[in-house]
Structure 1
Amino acid sequence: MLVSIFFIFIAVIIIQFLYYVVIFGKFSFAKLQPATPKRIPISVIVCAKNEEENVKKFIPLLAEQNYPQFEIVLIDDASSDNTLEIFEEFEKLYSNIKLVKVENNEAFWGNKKFALTLGIKAAKYEYLLFTDADCYPNSKEWITTMSSQFTAKKTIVLGYGAYEKIASSFLNKIIRYETLMTATQYFSWAKIGKPYMGVGRNMAYKREEFFKVRGFMDHMKIRSGDDDLFINQAANKSNTTICFSPESFTYSQPKTSFKDWFTQKRRHVSTANHYKLFDKNQLSVFYVSQLLFFILSIVLLLFQFQWIAVVSIIGFRYLFAWIAMGFAAGKLKEKDVMYWFPIIELVLTLTQLNVFITNTFSKPVHWK
C-alpha cells in the first residue's frame, strides 16, 4: 500500500514540476520586453457603485496621467451614496471626463456588466483601458505602459492588479501571495498561447474584441466575470499579450479580515466554474496536485516510508517551486511574501479546499 502511495507521490511531484518550472517558468524566467509607446487615443473606463471615498482619492490620479490623448469614462452604477455627485464635480473640473449614469433596470438590476456595456458604448475611442473604482495606478505612465503593448494583432493586454502592502499583517501576505500566484498563472498561460483570464483592476482591449463576442451577452446572467469570463471567451493566442512593467501596475486596498477575503474568494472560485473545459481542468489539476502533495507527504512521513528519499523529494519540490515563484515575485514586486512561502502555500491550499466545500452547499453573493 505504501509503495503505491509513494509512486503516486512521485507522480504528483512530476506534475508540480511541470507546472512550476515548465508552465509558470514561461513568465517567471521571461525577460521584460521593451515596447515603443504608441500614443494611440485611449478611453479609461471606471465603473463605480457606492465608492464615494475611493473615487475622491483615485479619480484625480487617473486624470493626472502623463498621456497626450485620453478620456476617462466614469460609470455610476445606480449608487445610493454620493458617488454620482462626486462624479458630476469631476466632470466639471476635467474636460476629458465623460459621465455615464446608470439607473436601476428591472432586467439588469445590480448587474455590473450592464453598466460596463453602457460605458463601453459611450467611450469616444476604440482602445479601452479598465480599472476599478477602488484602484489607483502605480505611476503617471500607467496608460503609456499598458497601451504600448498594443499592436496590429495584439488587441488584448493583460496587466497586474496588485494589493497594497500592510507590513504587520500576515493575512495581507496571504492575499498578496495569492494575487501573485494568480497573475503568474494567467501571465504564463497567455505566453504559452492559452490565455484564460485577466483582472478588471488592470486590463485593456480594443472595442472590436468586445463586440466580436457580443459583449457580455453569453454570461450576462452570471453577476461576476466582467473581466475573467470575458477574457476566457474573447482572448486567444493571436490577439492577447501581457504587460508586467512596474509602471503598469495598479494597486488597491486589500481585505483586512479573513471573513471578507474568504467571501471574495468564494465569488472568484464560483466564476471559474464557467471557464472553458480546458481551463477548468488545468486549474483543477494544479490545485489537486497541491493538496495531494501535502497529504501524501504527511502520510509517508508518518509511516516513515523511505523517509530519507521522501524528505529529499520534498526538499527538491520546495526548491523548484520557491525559485519559480521567487522570480515571478521579483517581477511583480512581491518578494517579501516569499520568505513565508511554505506556510502561506499550506494556508492557501487549505483555504481553497474550504472555499470549494462551502460553495458546494451555498452560492456566494456578487456585486454591491
Structure 2
Amino acid sequence: MVSILETISLIIIGVYLVWILVMICSFLWIRWTDHQLNKGQELRVSVIVPFRNEANNLLSLIESLNQLNYNRSFLEIILVDDHSNDRPDLGELPQEYKVLSLPVDMQGKKAALNFGINNSAGEIIVTTDADCIVQPEWINCIVSQFQKHQIQLVFGGVAFTNSETIFSRLQQIEFAPVIGVGAASNNIGAPIMCNGANLAFRKSAFEKVNGYEGNFHVASGDDEYLIHKISKVYNRSIVYIKSKEAVVRTQAPPTFTEFVSQRIRWASKWNSNKSFYKSSLAILVVLSSIFPILCLTLGIIQQSPLYLTLALSKIILDGIFTHLVLKSMRNSLNIFYYLITVILYPLYCLYIGVMANVKFYTWKGRKHKLG
C-alpha cells in the first residue's frame, strides 16, 4: 500500500511541477513582451455594472469611474439594479450614466448584465462589479487592445484592496494564482478563466455566440462561460491586459462564512463546465495540494531526499508564481503568510470541493442550487 501511495505521489507531483513551470514561463512571457498602448481610434464603450444590495459600495465605484481618463462622448455607464433591498442614494450623476431596474420577471447577475447590454450603445462592452474600484487609465488600456481587429475579448487583473487584516492577506495570496493561471493558460492557447470584475468584449461577438444563453440557470460563471464561447468561435482572439494601470481592485470577503460562500459559488461552475483542461486542472490542483504533505512525511520517515526535494520544489515554484502575479498587480508576497496558506490550502481545497457538490449556497440574499 505504501509503495502505491509513493508512486501516485511521485506521478502527481511530477506532473504538477511540469505544469507550474509552464505557467511561470508563460506568465513571464506575457510580462516580457511589448506592453505599450496601441493608441488609435476612440471606440464607443459601455460599462455595465450589475448590482444588488450594494449601497455601501456603489459610491466608491462611481467616484473612481468619474476619474476615468476617457472621452465622455464615447463613454456610457449603465448601472443595473437587480431588485435591491436597500435604496442607494446615488445623488446627481453625470450625463453618461444610466440607472436601470431589472424587470420583475428577471433576476440574477447574468440577467442584469444581459439587460444592460441590450440597452447599451457601445461597440465595446466592459463589465465590473459594484464593490470594485477602477483606475483612471482602465478604459484606455482596454480600448488599446481592441485596436487589433482580431481581438474579441479582453480581461485583466483583479486584486484585493483591504489587505490590513491577516485574513484578507491570506486571501490575496490564495487568489493571485487564480488570476495568473487565467492569464498564463490563455497565453498558451487554452483560455479557461477570467474575472467579470475586469472584462471587456465586442458586442458583436457577444451577440454572435448568443451571450449567456444556455447558462442562465447557473448563478455564477458569466465570465468563464463567455470566454469559452468566444474562444470556440474566434481563434486566438482573447488577450490578457498586463498593464498595472488596468488592474481593478475589489474587497476580500470580510468573514470566513462569506469567503466560503463565495468560493463555493465559484466552484459550483465546475459541474457545468465541460472543458477537459479545466476539469483536469481542478483535480490536479486539489491532489497536488495534498501530496506534498505526504511527501514531506515520507521523506522524514524514510529519510529520503527525493520526497523532500519534490515537496519543497512545489512549495518554492508555487511561491515564485504567486510572487510574479502579485508583483504584476503592485502587491508583494509575504513569506510568512504564504507558508500559512501552504498549510491551510489542502484543508480548504478538500472542504470547498466537497461543499461545491453537496449543498446550496446563499448569495446576495438568494438561495441557489448547485450544479
> What is the TM-score normalised by the length of structure 1?
0.90
Q: Report the secondary structure of 2:154's partner residue.
A: strand
Structure 2 equivalent of residue 262 of structure 1: 260
Aligned residue type for 1:36: N
Distance 1:327 1:359, change over 3 A: closer
Structure 2 equivalent of residue 175 of structure 1: 171
List per-residue Cα deviations over 1:251-308 (Å, max 9, x = no partner).
1121111111011111010023222231432322332332342342244146x22423
Aligned residue type for 1:354: Y
- After alignment, is 95-104 or 21-30 more displaced? 21-30
Structure 2 equivalent of residue 36 of structure 1: 38
- After alignment, is 215-224 or 271-280 more displaced? 271-280
Unaligned 5+ runs, structure 1: none
Q: Is the 8 A contact 1:12 1:292 kept in 2?
A: no
Q: Once the 2 structures are TM-superposed, how far is the Cα of residue 367 of structure 1 from its aligned partner?
A: 4.3
Aligned residue type for 1:319: I
| Superposition pairs of residues 232-243 of structure 1, within 5 angstroms | 232-236=228-232, 237-243=235-241
Asked if 1:190 is matched to 2:186, the reply is yes
Question: Aligned to 2:82, which of 55, 65, 77?
Answer: 77
Asked if 1:101 is matched to 2:101, the reply is yes
Asked if 1:330 is matched to 2:327, the reply is yes
Question: Aligned to 1:224, which of 220, 223, 242?
Answer: 220
Identical residues among aligned pairs (%): 24
Asked if 1:148 is matched to 2:153, the reply is no
Distance 1:235 1:4, change over 3 A: same
Aligned residue type for 2:104: N
Distance 1:317 1:283, change over 3 A: closer
Q: Report the secondary structure of 2:197's partner residue.
A: coil
Unaligned 5+ runs, structure 2: 366-371
Question: Aligned to 1:345, which of 342, 345, 350?
Answer: 342
Asked if 1:159 is matched to 2:164, the reply is no
Q: Distance in 2 between matches of 1:352 and 1:313?
A: 20
Q: Is the 8 A contact 2:126 2:200 kept in 1?
A: yes
Question: Aligned to 2:210, which of 196, 205, 214?
Answer: 214
Q: Once the 2 structures are TM-superposed, how far is the Cα of residue 201 of structure 1 from its aligned partner?
A: 0.7
Asked if 1:300 is matched to 2:316, the reply is no
Aligned residue type for 1:350: L
Q: Once the 2 structures are TM-superposed, how far is the Cα of residue 343 of structure 1 from its aligned partner?
A: 2.1
Structure 2 equivalent of residue 126 of structure 1: 123
Aligned residue type for 2:80: I
Q: Report the secondary structure of 1:334's partner residue.
A: coil
Aligned residue type for 1:344: T
Structure 1 equivalent of residue 275 of structure 2: 277
Q: Distance in 1 between matches of 2:274 and 2:334?
A: 31
Q: Is the 8 A contact 1:176 1:334 kept in 2?
A: no
Q: Distance in 2 between matches of 1:53 and 1:228?
A: 27
Q: Once the 2 structures are TM-superposed, how far is the Cα of residue 227 of structure 1 from its aligned partner?
A: 1.8
Distance 1:312 1:216, change over 3 A: closer
Asked if 1:48 is matched to 2:51, the reply is yes
Q: Is the 8 A contact 2:48 2:78 kept in 1?
A: yes
Q: Once the 2 structures are TM-superposed, how far is the Cα of residue 209 of structure 1 from its aligned partner?
A: 1.8
Aligned residue type for 2:39: P
Q: Distance in 2 between matches of 1:348 and 1:333?
A: 24
Q: Is the 8 A contact 1:23 1:189 kept in 2?
A: yes
Q: Is the 8 A contact 1:176 1:337 kept in 2?
A: no
Q: Once the 2 structures are TM-superposed, how far is the Cα of residue 4 of structure 1 from its aligned partner?
A: 3.8
List per-residue Cα deviations over 1:295-328 (Å, max 9, x = no partner).
42244146x2242332233233333332233222
> What is the TM-score normalised by the length of structure 2?
0.89
Aligned length: 357
Q: Distance in 2 between matches of 1:346 and 1:274?
A: 30
Q: Report the secondary structure of 1:158's partner residue.
A: strand
Structure 2 equivalent of residue 361 of structure 1: 358
Structure 1 equivalent of residue 61 of structure 2: 58
Distance 1:37 1:293, change over 3 A: farther
Distance 1:260 1:16, change over 3 A: same
Q: Distance in 2 between matches of 1:337 and 1:122?
A: 45
Q: Runs of at least 4 residues of structure 1 off by over 6 A?
A: none
Aligned residue type for 1:176: Q
Q: Distance in 1 between matches of 2:335 and 2:100?
A: 42
Q: Is the 8 A contact 1:180 1:334 kept in 2?
A: no
List per-residue Cα deviations over 1:52-95 (Å, max 9, x = no partner).
22112221320221111211111122222213x52xx44xx311
Q: Once the 2 structures are TM-superposed, how far is the Cα of residue 29 of structure 1 from its aligned partner?
A: 4.7
Aligned residue type for 1:47: P
Q: Is the 8 A contact 2:177 2:321 kept in 1?
A: no
Structure 2 equivalent of residue 320 of structure 1: 317
Q: Distance in 1 between matches of 2:81 and 2:162?
A: 29
Asked if 1:10 is matched to 2:10, the reply is yes
